[in-house]
Amino acid sequence: TSNPRNFGSQTTLISGDYTNVSSTKQAYVNELVIIASTRDSSPNQVVGVHGVGSSPQQQFEETFTSGWNLVGLPSDIVDSNYLGLFPKAETNTLFSYSGGYTNELHMNEGTGYWVKFASSGSAVFTGDAINTNDLDLASGWNLISGISCTVALDDVTDNGSIIEPGTLFGFSGGGYVASDIIEQGKGYWIYANSAGTITLDCDPPVSPLAKSRSAAQIRSEHQLDERPQLVFSNATGTTQTLYFATEIAPDAMASFQLPPVAPFPSFDVRYPNDTRLTGDESPVMEVRLIDRTVLSARNLPLESGESYVLDLMAGRQVVESIPVSEGETITLDQPYLTAIQLRKSLEINDVITSFAVE
């Protein structure tokens, strides 16, 4: 028109005017051109609607590997049957989590899922973009997925401060990986200290009322790079680090929890209480080594005459003991191992033996 104007939701329209409205589902702005009746009996009757916009759709290609993957919907899909979305997925292998696993057939926005693929490949999704989403979290571990963009963890609005810092984990290379971002189409574990709601937004507020602290911030806060640690790396390059001989405040221990063990076969190392940090100087670790794994010890807390030994265990039986030194790498290729104990040992020359002479 020659005199277009923008109106609010309760404005009387006259012939030739237009207004911008937003779709309540996807929050897209669409332009509607309204032609109103000029009859006195019904001055606000709409007799024609032209130029109605539609929510723009996007295509997204998601890659996956053979075996188990953590996935989520990358956009608003009309038919969310996972076997149609992922032709290479195995039947009866889609699982959501709510205190326990539930076998599913259809996927929902904001939910993360385990799914198993017969071989590696990719899938292309076409659907309306999800620009924002409110996720309802239960107390404890939750499987979530993101929206149609990458969202940094410290851009997640968490007004109730329910996200436990340092507990966002993705799954890559056959094992868990700590993450500071939530990527489109991926599934993630996250721990909530109480039930509540968080918000993911492609255009987050400049200063959310509350932001979650990232894994990098937790690492810096507790000076983890300087702590005694064992670094495990599998053949695909996935790395998991366990800290030991490290004391922190009890209320900070929640940040070092690990999610439920991934389905077999998967790479996993953890302490028996499902954490990655302990104050014990001779800790026992539960392990699942599905392929060749390299172990490196760093910042060993040793005094004169002390050394460390790794006891490799199958069940409760020690099958091999290996000396370990600062910075040394040890190759572990025994898939039958279920546990490893790191223990201190005194050199024989430093053991003082007393004799009584009569």
C-alpha to C-alpha distance for 337 and 317, rounded to whole angstroms: 10
Q: What is the pLDDT of residue 31?
A: 39
Q: Is the pLDDT of residue 257 over 60?
A: yes
pLDDT at 12: 59
Q: Give me the mean pLDDT over the 131-147 stretch.
A: 98
Among 211-220, 265-274, 293-302, which is the least confidently predicted range?
211-220
d(CA 232, CA 24): 47
Average pLDDT value for the chain: 85
Please report the pLDDT score of residue 7 as a whole number.
45
Q: How far is CA 312 from CA 163, 206, 299, 306, in A?
A: 36, 51, 21, 20
Q: Dihedral of the CA atoms 273, 277, 280, 286 (nearest 10)?
A: 50
The string of DSSP codes covering 325-358 is -TT-EEEE--TT--EEEEEEEE-GGG--------
How confident is the model at residue 25, as a pLDDT?
Answer: 42
Give residue-wise pLDDT tens across range 68-77: 999 999 999 9
In the chain, % of residues over pLDDT 70: 78
pTM of the model: 0.80
Angle formed at CA 244 by CA 282 and CA 237, multiple of 5 degrees:
110
* φ and ψ at residue 273, rounded to 5 degrees: -90, 20
Domain locations along the chain? 1-55, 57-213, 222-348
Structure tokens at 278: 């302990």
What percentage of residues in the chain have a pLDDT greater than 90?
69
Listed in sequence order, the residues at least 6 apart from 239 whose beta carbon sits closer than 8 Å to its beta carbon are 177, 231, 232, 233
Instruction: Summarize the confidence of residues 39-54 as an average pLDDT.
Output: 46
Q: What is the pLDDT of residue 48?
A: 45
Lookup result for tokens 């006195």: 40
Nearest-CA neighbor of 313 among 340, 292, 287?
340
Band of pLDDT at residue 300, cut at 50, 70 and 90: very high
Q: What is the mean pLDDT of residues 165-183?
A: 95
